[in-house]
Structure 1
Amino acid sequence: KGIESKATKERLRAATADAYERGVRGVPTVAVGGELFWGDDRLEEAAVALSG
């Protein structure tokens, strides 16, 4: 079963749609205080926001 099961695929599609509705446009995505940071090049900015 696993990733090949219909139920798993449906949950993945729903989670992807939910993430997109919340503004996620890439991976990795980190949310800090309502602000989204996505992509490897934004991880340092996310770390600064977390410490700030």
Structure 2
Amino acid sequence: MDPASIHIEVEGLLTRARDVTADGEPDPSEIIPRQAQLLEQAHDLLVQALATVDKI
């Protein structure tokens, strides 16, 4: 895994998590679950990268 691509992907997910409320008029009950989903994706990506590094 390329560190630069990991950084770009994680930054993109974090930006989307911050911008959830900017997507029109979202239902307030959907904001936190959507942010949680995006943060979980970022977490999974970082865990995957660490697992790859551990194998090297």
Which TM class, normalised by the smaller chain length?
A: 0.3 to 0.5
Q: Which has the higher contact order (CA 8 A, sep 6+)?
A: 2
The structure carrying a bigger strand percent of its residues is 1
Q: Which has the higher Rg, Structure 1 or Structure 2?
A: 1
Taking structure 1 as the reference length, what is the TM-score of the superposition? 0.40
| Structure 2 length-normalised TM | 0.37
